[in-house]
Amino acid sequence: MSTFLVLTVIADDKPGIVEQLSGVIAEHGGNWLESRMSHMAGKFAGILRVSVDASNSQPLSDALAALSANGLQVAVEHSSEAGDDVSSKDLTLSLVGNDRPGIVREVSQTLAKMGVNVLELTTNCDSAEMSAVPLFRTLAQLRVPQTFDADQLADALEAISNDLMVEITLD
């Protein structure tokens, strides 16, 4: 019987990190299912989901913890494989506006108040083409109930600031 592990990884960025992780996972019969990894401020940060036979779960967890000797900090959480929920639907949110302190908090508060589950969130800041004004951009995958009104969410997000441009699409 398989069990599922969610791993978070952080280390000083250098070649070979993914190879070390994948080697330990493979040595314990694990299957690397999905991941999101990134270089950020000189660090390698990642999250991944692995399936492994239940009997190999603890030995794999121990082996991943031992990677700390190589400078990799790996946290392991046990998870259950959730099936598709037909009572929900997924949306994609694209948002662009002038950057300012607190904007992520304001957006996340609006989502939470409306009962929106954030599945994936990517944010960045870059300069506007003509003015070089810092722009905040986000792309998010959201899960909401089937009866959810995406127009109400767009209105609530646009109410945060008159410079926010919001686009919501059904996945």
Report pLDDT digits (tens) over 48-101.
Answer: 999 999 999 999 999 999 999 999 999 999 997 655 566 899 999 999 999 999
**Could you tell me if 18 and 62 lie in one domain?**
yes
**Could you tell me if 75 and 93 lie in one domain?**
no
pLDDT at 171: 82
**Could you tell me if 155 and 115 lie in one domain?**
yes
Arithmetic mean of pLDDT, 8-13: 98
Rounded Cα distance, 44 and 91, in Å: 29
pTM beyond 0.85: the answer is no
**Could you tell me if 72 and 123 lie in one domain?**
no
Domains contained in the chain, number? 2
Arithmetic mean of pLDDT, 132-158: 94
Percent of the chain with pLDDT over 90: 85
Last residue of a domain, one of 32, 61, 79: 79
HSE at residue 70, side-chain half, CA atoms within 13 A, is: 19
pLDDT at 85: 64
Q: How confident is the model at residue 132 (pLDDT cuts 50, 70, 90)?
A: confident
**Could you tell me if 103 and 64 lie in one domain?**
no
Last residue of a domain, one of 29, 55, 79: 79
**Three-state DSSP class for 136?**
strand
Range of the domain at 51: 2-79
Rounded Cα distance, 49 and 124, in Å: 24
